[in-house]
Amino acid sequence: MRGGRLHHNVSAHPFLGQVRTAPHYRMYSVRDEFPALLEDPAGGVPLAGEIYDVPLRAIRTDFLPDEPPELELTVIELDDGRDVLAVGLRPGVLERQRAELTDITTHGGWRAYKGLPEPA
């Protein structure tokens, strides 16, 4: 995410715009350090995000090695029906680390939760 602590991993690649997830995801703050998506067909909402054109090689060599251990690469659905790669909460993390997670779904996204302005 533009302005985020790991943005340097995608900033060299084309920013394609802001997006929203399909309405079946929840978003969690992990230790108030980073966001994590989790699919929830029964109680999710559309969540704000960004999309970049990142080659798979760069994902493998630059992006994934820096990702926190609670996250994994996954495929999510956007509100326009497209499927895209994203980082999501690893299976089991919600159950094992619940005390470190805050459900921020009602904020609509990480930027809104943190009170961050939209980048110019």
Question: For residue 118, is it within any domain?
Answer: no
CATH number where 70 lies: 3.10.490.10
Domains: count for the chain: 1
pLDDT exceeds cutoff 80 at 55:
yes
pLDDT per residue as tens digits for the range 67-96: 899 999 999 999 999 999 999 999 999 999
Pairing relationship of beta strands 15-20 and 25-30 according to DSSP bridges: unpaired
Tokens of 41: 């067909």
Element spanning 25, H or E: strand 25-30
Question: For residue 115, is it within any domain?
Answer: no
Question: For residue 2, is it within any domain?
Answer: no
How many Cβ atoms are within 10 Å of 50's Cβ, its own excluded?
Answer: 17
Question: For residue 119, is it within any domain?
Answer: no
Beta carbons of 109 and 27 less than 8 angstroms apart: yes
Model-level pTM?
Answer: 0.88
More confident position, 120 or 99: 99
